[in-house]
Amino acid sequence: MIVAVVVHSADARDRDGAKQVIEKIRPRRPRLELIWADAGYAGKLENWIEELAGWRLEIVRRGAGAAGFERPPRRWIVERTFAWLSRYRRLSKDYEFHARTGENFIYLAMINLMLHRLAPERRPHNYVPRNQALAA
């Protein structure tokens, strides 16, 4: 579930966007205690979040003896969410002129995903997906 979204221009740094997200989340999630982020968010942002909201920013790093490609822990959550969102045609490319419109389409897509998870479509009792054969 996406709690807050900020869409900004490509010339803005991710850390600046993270500050905007934290400022959006703070009044909505007062009991939040821990935020996971990758190494691109390390540095002053950790102290800023601690001072502003009292939350701990934990940087998820690669293993100490990692050689070559290694999937960082918890990274799959972010990648899975991007995959879900990219299935929506309007989000597959950057069509929007205003950043706020892009943010709203992300919220709409997430609402749609959550509704389908809470109340899945009813299928006829004899429904068989195309890739499954009937049992003999």
Q: What is the pTM assigned to this prediction? A: 0.69
Both 82 and 111 in one domain: the answer is: yes
What does the pLDDT look like over 7-49, one tens digit per residue?
888 888 888 888 988 999 998 888 989 988 888 888 888 889 9
Both 55 and 81 in one domain: the answer is: no
pLDDT band at 131 (very low <50, low <70, confident <90, very high): low
Both 41 and 85 in one domain: the answer is: no
Query: Has residue 101 got a pLDDT over 50?
Result: yes
Helix (H/G/I), strand (E/B), else coil: 42 = coil
Question: Would residue 124 count as lying in a domain?
Answer: no
**Could you tell me the residue range of the domain that residue 84 belongs to?**
74-117
Question: Would residue 42 count as lying in a domain?
Answer: yes
Among residues 39, 62, 85, the one where a domain terminates is 62
Cα separation, 133 vs 66, whole angstroms: 43
* Residue 45 C-alpha from the chain's centroid: 19
Question: Would residue 134 count as lying in a domain?
Answer: no
Both 30 and 50 in one domain: the answer is: yes
Question: Would residue 82 count as lying in a domain?
Answer: yes
Question: Would residue 122 count as lying in a domain?
Answer: no
Both 17 and 55 in one domain: the answer is: yes
Structure tokens that stand for 91 in this block: 């989000």
The total domain count for the chain is 2
Question: Would residue 15 count as lying in a domain?
Answer: yes
Q: What size, in residues, is the chain?
A: 136
Cα separation, 111 vs 115, whole angstroms: 6
Structure tokens that stand for 47 in this block: 């102290």
Question: Would residue 37 count as lying in a domain?
Answer: yes
Question: Would residue 17 count as lying in a domain?
Answer: yes
